[in-house]
Each structure stands twice: as C-alpha cells, then as structure tokens.
C-alpha cells in the first residue's frame, strides 16, 4: 500500500488531476487470497481469484479520489469468502503545508487557523467526510463496510514536518486528526473502523502504541512472506486492539492474511 506526501500549498485542482499514468503490467499469477488495491493498480491486471478485496478510496493522499475505485470495487465485490472493505489515507500537514486547512471553520470544532488540536481534528474529520462521499458514489451502503485508516510516515504529519518537529504538541495534533477521521466516518454511519500501519510508523506519528485507540482493530503492514504475516497475528498490536489482518507480498501484489 503506497501513499503520497502532500505537497506544500497543493491546490484542489492539482489534487483532482495529479494521477500518474500507470503502464499496464504483465500478467501475474496470484494464488487465491485477500488482496488490497488502489490507485497504483489503475490499468493493471487484478488477481483473477480473490478470497477478499480491500480497496483504497483515495489517490494516495487525503482529499483526493482514486480514479479506479469503481472498477476495483467491482472486482473486490466478486471475492469468494470475505466481504469487500475500504481503506482511506490519513495525514495532518498543518497550516504551513496545506491549502485545505480549515481556518475559520465552526463545525465540528471552531478552528482559529493554528496548528492546534481543534483545527487538526477538523482537518481529519473533513478528510474522512470527503473519503466517505467519494466511496458513497459507488458503494450504496458504505457505512456497513469495514473501513481502515492508513497511517504511514510517507504522508504529511505535523510531528514529521520540519516546521513543527517531534514535540508533544505536534503529536497531540496528529492524534486529534486521527480521532477526527474516526469520528467523521462514524458520524457518516460507519460502524467498524480500524487502522493500517506498523508499530514503527504508528509510534513515529502518535508517539506511542495503544492507549488512544486501544479498542480499534489493527491491520499490520509490510511482511515479506505469508509465514511472517501469520506470525504477525500474535505480535503486539500497535493500537492495542485486536490484530485482524496482516499484509504480505505475493507475486507482485499486496496480499492479506486473516488472523484467527
């Protein structure tokens, strides 16, 4: 699963049309498994037989739409065993690195334009609302689908940007943005929200494992083999919640193992 960093003062029009052209990949043989796909798979062949499918709704960053979501959702809906799920990118660039900062917003919180917890919460909430709106154009019952929030250091976070630094305040802001994402989805009617990350990336962004989202299910990224993915099911969860999925590389695809 890939993410794109949010450029400084990126305009809305750029977000909407900055999708790269992907060359059609050669045919790949994939064993039946659950797979996650998104904008990098646009125009490429998808696994012919899948036990499940998890589809990214964004074009690599928040407040953007995966142009192939409808096609990939149709593929995921044909899975043989598990219901399709959705994942959304997250981030919290702060006012210095975003043209979408909710300065002057009064809902869901009042934002005075600073890089504080209230504005960060608003930013995450609005990003989630945007992702849900994009998904709802294709998925009639998007609220009944399991949603995963993708937390990676490849996206822009206050705690990782030089303009803010790894301080307690910036981490509190990033946690507020993630809480805004969760609340934005639940306010939209989503009943199950989990997090995709690794312990390292989660700690880099939030500063800790567990506590803030201790009941949220986890999807562990990045294993190189099925064997490692299976062993990751019994590792400590970065959220503190139950590990439901572990990702691994399989024949050029991102495959996912269902724990337990």
Q: Could you tell me if 215 and 237 are in contact, meaning their C-beta atoms sit under 8 angstroms apart?
A: no
The three-point CA angle 52-229-145 to 5° equals 30
Tell me which residue of 76, 46, 53, 62 sits closest to 3, measured CA to CA.
Answer: 62
What are the φ/ψ torsions at residue 182 (nearest 5 degrees)? -60, -45
Q: What is the distance between the alpha carbons of residues 153 and 197, in angstroms, rounded to a whole number?
A: 9
Q: Name the 3-class secondary structure at 135.
A: helix
Residue 64 lies in a domain: yes
pLDDT of 137: 98
Q: Could you tell me if 69 and 138 are in contact, meaning their C-beta atoms sit under 8 angstroms apart?
A: yes
Residue 122 lies in a domain: yes
Residue 113 lies in a domain: yes
Tell me which residue of 252, 251, 235 sits closest to 243, measured CA to CA.
Answer: 235
Residue 27 lies in a domain: yes
Bridge partners, 219 (sequence order): 196, 245
Residue 151 lies in a domain: yes
- From first to last of its 260 residues, the chain has per-residue pLDDT tens of 766 654 333 333 333 323 333 344 444 556 789 999 999 999 999 999 999 999 999 999 999 999 999 999 999 999 999 999 999 999 999 999 999 999 999 999 999 999 999 999 999 999 999 999 999 999 999 999 999 999 999 999 999 999 998 899 999 999 999 999 999 999 999 999 999 999 999 999 998 755 689 999 999 999 999 999 999 999 999 999 999 999 999 989 999 999 98
Query: Domain range spanning residue 72?
Result: 12-258
Residue 3 lies in a domain: no
One DSSP character per residue, 16-39 reads HH-PPPPPPPPP----SEEEEE-G
pLDDT of 212: 81
Q: Could you tell me if 35 and 254 are in contact, meaning their C-beta atoms sit under 8 angstroms apart?
A: yes
Q: Can you give the pTM of this predicted structure?
A: 0.89
Residue 1 lies in a domain: no
Report the first-to-last Cα separation within the chain, whole angstroms.
23
pLDDT of 258: 98
Q: Assign residue 69 a region: left if phi > 0, alpha if psi is -120 to 50, beta otherwise?
A: alpha
Burial class (CB in 10 A: 0-12, 13-18, 19+), 224: exposed
Q: Give the count of domains, the chain.
A: 1
197: number of Cβ within 10 Å: 25
Q: Could you tell me if 88 and 57 are in contact, meaning their C-beta atoms sit under 8 angstroms apart?
A: yes
Read off the CATH number of the domain in which 32 is found.
Answer: 3.20.20.80
pLDDT of 166: 84
Residue 71 lies in a domain: yes
pLDDT of 251: 87
């Amino acid at each position: 699963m890939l993410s794109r960093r949010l450029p400084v003062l990126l305009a809305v029009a750029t977000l909407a049309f900055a999708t790269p052209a992907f060359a059609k990949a050669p045919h790949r043989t994939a064993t039946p498994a659950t797979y996650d796909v998104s904008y990098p798979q646009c125009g490429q062949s998808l696994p012919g037989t899948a036990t499940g499918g998890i589809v990214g709704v964004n074009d690599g960053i928040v407040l953007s739409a995966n142009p192939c979501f409808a096609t990939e959702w149709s593929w995921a809906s044909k899975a043989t065993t598990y219901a399709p799920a959705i994942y959304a990118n997250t981030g919290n660039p702060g006012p210095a690195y975003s043209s979408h900062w909710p300065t002057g917003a009064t809902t869901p919180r009042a934002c005075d334009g600073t890089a504080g917890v209230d504005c960060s919460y608003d930013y995450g909430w609005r990003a989630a609302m945007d992702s849900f709106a994009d998904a709802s154009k294709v998925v009639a019952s998007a609220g009944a689908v399991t949603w995963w929030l993708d937390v990676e250091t490849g996206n822009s976070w206050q705690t990782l940007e030089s303009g803010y630094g790894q301080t307690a305040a910036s981490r509190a802001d990033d946690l507020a943005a993630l809480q805004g994402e969760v609340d934005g989805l639940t306010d939209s009617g989503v009943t199950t929200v989990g997090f995709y990350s690794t312990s390292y990336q989660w700690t880099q962004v939030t500063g800790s494992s567990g506590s803030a989202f201790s009941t949220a299910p986890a999807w562990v990224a990045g294993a190189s083999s099925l064997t490692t993915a299976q062993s990751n099911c019994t590792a400590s969860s970065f959220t503190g919640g139950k590990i439901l999925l572990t990702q691994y590389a399989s024949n050029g695809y991102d495959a996912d193992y269902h724990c337990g």
